[in-house]
Structures are given as structure tokens and as C-alpha cells.
Amino acid sequence: NTAEELMLIHLPDNVVKRSASASVSISSDLMGLALQNLDRLVQMPHGCGEQNMVLFTPIVYVLQYLEKTRQLTPAIKERATGFLHNGKYNRSTNVSYVQCYQTQLLYRHRDGSYSVFGQRDGEENTWLTAFVAKSFGHAKKYIYIDDKNIQDALRWLEQSQLPNGCFATKGSLFHSSLKGSVDDEISLGAYVAAALLELGQPLKGKLMQTTFNCLQYAVHNVTNTCTEAVLAYAFALAGDYQTTQELLYKLEEQAIESGGQIHWSPKTSSPASTDFWHSTQSLDIELIAYVLLAYLSKPRLRARDMTTAAGIVVWLTQQQNAYGGFASTHDTVVALQALAKYAARMFSTSGQALVKVKSQRDFGKTFQVTCQKRLLVQHAELTEIPEQFLVQVQGRSCVFAQTVLRYHEPTPQTTVTFSLRVNTELANCSQANMHVLTVRILASYTGSRITSNMVIMEVSLLSGFVLDSGSRMLLERKTIIKKVEVEADVVYIYLDKLSDESQSFILQLEQIIKVKNLKPTVIKIYDYYQPEEQALAVYSAVCS
């Protein structure tokens, strides 16, 4: 009943002086961290129909877990269902905003389907329609969901079924790494099948029977690891032990095991990275979460399966961000679903432990973990960095310890996945007038794929400057731009995708407040679903 582990916190060579801070959090519930941060699991914009669901779906999984483990109090339920209605919560003013459920209906087409940007898109999206339908189906136990929205989506999916039982690929697939592969149709079919079974569609009904006919025919010819993982989960939900086990055996042969951790990677090669920390691709997380779901959903679970699941969970929890989410949107949704399923299976109403965190110098902190306060997340600032900390646990309990390190570093000068060039021209430089700044941005994708996924361009505004309204209208007329959002000091530009062909963007900024010693700021461009693929550029406003 004693365990200990070393946690090493070290800094990169180019860290900005005095910018680093670190903390440790201790809890006895895998879902505790996510529960405390339901409104900020992913630190990314949420301006489209798929991203909006990351505000919605994980909350349902947390509610299901708490209900299953009898930890759902009236206070927690009120707070969580408030998020389902409102999507976000303003902690400083206690004002709810961003109508999450209602917002999702803005991305609905007249035929009951959904797409990333709603009616603005040229076609519906099969994957997103299945995702929304199953999420609404899970949520209707906790908030009012018009059942017509679910039934219309199901009807559209049924009409989109091909003669062979698979589904027509309408709209962009979630990850472009699967586009054009022979497994494309099968991965989508497996995802839709799993979504329909989660929604409670009868396995012996015509829709499910024809879907699994398609999947069963293709299961032996699949070569893509991601597709194998989603297929394994779908067949596990269907109660097909033999096919599930066959797929899991294939996956086990490709598993990467080290230090009690088990994971998989769909990557054949990785571009050279200048990041100090290893950046796990969101596709890796999604793949591994589906493998975990497949193991936990099997009709018959063996002790060996739970040992494998435990190794997966150890790896998966190490990829969580400081708020309990993961790298991007759908990997957060699937990973939290898998972790909630594992936590429910391993739940115990007894146990307590004493946790000590100490450094080699003077730092020392003791935490008491009890089953009565298992959802409590305890925090402490780590005042000595860089440093090596020893975490000691004594007792009988599940203990989840996470260290968080934050620091600033200079803008990197090299990039391998995007090309980003910025030129500025400052007009009206006389003292009597406010300045007008023209920002010209040239961007292209230079990574290993033919095109990127959806791209976000974040233009941080210089202090005292705002985006000209006419400039915004001109941006929105460009075909490649799907949406422009303006926050207080950032302009978010959603791009359909980028290729190796350079795209030009012009922003007109107006100075409304004069600021002395105006500092440069940053433009960031990144692949929304694989945010480790990014580029940064600095711009400023200097009169000649």
C-alpha cells in the first residue's frame, strides 16, 4: 500500500526569464479535473458545428459517469445541465452565454442533417450528423432535446446509406489523413454504426443489419490502424466477441509498450519538431481512446483486458492538458468518454490515502485523499523550478497526480508544416491623426499531406487597434474563408484548408487608442485537428 514516482520539471534553454510557473494537482477520481473545468476543456475557438459539440458532449459523459457511480448531487447536476444549455460559464460575472444546444441547431440543414458551417456549406456532413444525433440522444435524459432533431438526423443517415450497407461520404472527413485511403468508407461506416448503437438503435433492425454487413465484408482487408480501432469498438458494442477479438489481436501486434504504458500511433513518420516538449498528435489520442472503448465494451472482459486497459489509461492521462481536456476537439470527446467508462468500471466506495510531494530542496506538501471527497482536486504551487519532485502515496486509493508547467519562449523562427509571411504598411503617421495599419499575410501548407485539415489563423491585435468593419466584409467574401470571428483582442479566421499554393489575406486595422511604446504581437496559424502543426509570425506598427 505504498507507491512513489519521480516527476522531473525542467525548462528549455530559450525560456523567457522569470516567465515560468508550475503547480501540482491531486485527486482520487479520473474525472475530477474535467468536472472542475467543463467550460474550458479545450483552449481553442468554438466557431463551427463540430467544435461547438466539444462544449456539449463531454459534459454528458461526465453526468453519466457521476450517475452510474452515485456521485451526482443536485448541485453538480444543476451546474452541468446549465453548461449543456449554455455551453460556457462566465466565472467572473456568473452570466451564462453561448447557447450550446440552440447554437448547434444553427448548423442544421432543412433535411435534418448537420455540417460544419450549416447552410453556408455546399453539402451536408455524414460524420457530423451521426455525432450530433448520438450526442443529443445521450443528453435528452438531462435537458430538453426536441426528439424531432434526432429522428430527422437518423432519417437522413438512413437515406445516405449505400446499397452495400456503408454510408456515402458527404462533407469533409474529420482527419484528412484518412481521405482517399481504401479504408475511408469503412472508417466512416464504423463510426456511424457505433453512434447508432450508442443511440439505442436495435441491432436486428434493417439499418444496423445492412451496416454491419458492409463492415463484416471489409473487416479482414483493413490496413489502417485508426479504422481497426473504430471497427473494434463498433463490433464490441454489437456484441460480436469473435470479430472484436480478432481486431484487438491485430492492434496488440502494433502496440507500443514502455514503462507500464501502452499506446499506438498511426504515424509512419514524423516531421522534425522544434518543440521542446513532445507534442502528441490528436489523432493518436483519438485512436487510443477507441481502442480503450473497444476493450471496455467487449461482451466478455478478461483480467488480461483490464491490465491492458490500465496501461492505456496511464498513457492517456499523461496527454491531458491542465484542464482535463486534450489536444483538440474530437480527441477530447472520445478520450473523456473512454476514461469515464474506465473510471466507472474501477470505481470503489472505500479507500483513503496520504499523498506527499517533496523536492530535493525545501518544498514539501501533504494531501489527504478520501472517498468522501474523491471529486475534490487539490492544488499547490511548485515554487522550485526546475526541480525533481518525489510523489509518495500511502494507503489504498486511486490517486491521480498532475504537474503543470507554464512558461514563455521566443517566437520560433523555423517551421515545417506551414509557411507564414507577414508584411505591414502603416499610413497616416502624423501626430495629429490616428494610424491605419495594413497587414498582408501570405500562408500555405508545407507539411507531408496533400492538404491540411481546417485551419485557424489567429491574428492578435496590437494594443489600441481594431479590425476595420469593411476589411472583415472583404475577408468573408473569400471562398477559402468559412468564418471570421472578432474577440476583444484577437481575430479568428477559419480557413477550409490550405495546400502548397500560397493564399493571400489583407487586414485593415484602425488605431482607436494611442499607446506609447507599442509592442509587437503575434499571428498564429495551425491545423485545428492537429494543432501541433503550426507556424508563428511577429508583426508591429512602426512609422518610418
Three-state SS sequence of 153-206: HHHHHHHCECCCCCECCCCCCCCHHHCCCCCHHHHHHHHHHHHHHHCCCCCCCH
In a domain, 281, yes or no: no
What are the b/e assignments for 168-178, b being 16+ CB within 10 Å? ebbbbbbbbbb
* Grid cell in block for residue 223: 490496413
Distance CA 7, CA 411 (A): 27
Same-domain status, 64 and 162: yes
- For residue 293, CA distances in Å to 259, 334, 536 come to 22, 9, 36
Around Cβ 20, how many Cβ atoms within 10 Å?
Answer: 17
**What does the pLDDT read at residue 424?**
92
pLDDT digit string (tens) for 326-361? 987 888 999 999 999 999 999 998 889 999 999 999
Same-domain status, 393 and 491: no
Looking at 322, 345, 368, the residue that finishes a domain is 345
DSSP state of 108: B
In a domain, 315, yes or no: yes
In a domain, 283, yes or no: no
In a domain, 230, yes or no: yes
pTM of the predicted structure, to 2 decimals:
0.85
> In DSSP terms, which residues pair with 401 in a beta bridge?
26
* Residue among 12, 1, 2 at smallest CA distance from 277: 12
**What does the pLDDT read at residue 495?**
94
Same-domain status, 293 and 378: no
Please name the residue that has the C-alpha cell 445516405.
160
**What does the pLDDT read at residue 97?**
30
Q: Which residues contact 481 (CB under 8 A, 6 or more apart)?
A: 475, 493, 494, 495, 496, 505
Same-domain status, 173 and 43: yes
In a domain, 158, yes or no: yes
Same-domain status, 358 and 456: no
In a domain, 443, yes or no: yes
Same-domain status, 156 and 173: yes
DSSP state of 520: P
* Residue among 176, 173, 178, 177 at smallest CA distance from 192: 173
SS3 content of the chain, % helix, strand, coil (to 5): 35, 25, 40
Same-domain status, 465 and 370: no
Q: What are the residue ranges of helices labelled H in 203-240?
A: 206-218, 225-237
> In DSSP terms, which residues pair with 402 in a beta bridge?
25
Same-domain status, 92 and 221: yes
Contact 361, 384 (CB under 8 A): yes
418-427 and 378-382 beta bridge pairing: unpaired
Same-domain status, 70 and 16: no
Same-domain status, 489 and 528: yes
Around Cβ 331, how many Cβ atoms within 10 Å?
Answer: 28
Same-domain status, 160 and 121: yes
Distance CA 175, CA 233 (A): 18
In one-letter notation, the amino acid at residue 173 is: L
* Grid cell in block for residue 164: 452495400
CATH code, 516: 2.60.40.690
Instruction: Classify 540 in phi/psi space as left (phi over 0), alpha (psi -120 to 50) or beta.
Output: beta
Those residues of the chain that have pLDDT short of 50 are: 89-98, 174-182, 268-279
CA-based torsion, 278, 284, 285, 291: positive or negative? negative
In a domain, 112, yes or no: yes
Same-domain status, 107 and 217: yes
Looking at 301, 319, 345, the residue that finishes a domain is 345
**What does the pLDDT read at residue 173?**
53
Task: Specify the 3-state DSSP secondary structure of 481.
Answer: strand
* Residue among 478, 534, 36, 146 at smallest CA distance from 327: 534
Looking at 328, 345, 362, the residue that finishes a domain is 345
In a domain, 483, yes or no: yes
Q: What domain range includes position 162?
A: 21-267+288-345
* Residue among 543, 282, 333 at smallest CA distance from 433: 543
**The total number of structural domains that make up the chain:** 3
CATH code, 73: 1.50.10.20
Peptide bond into 386 cis (omega under 30): yes
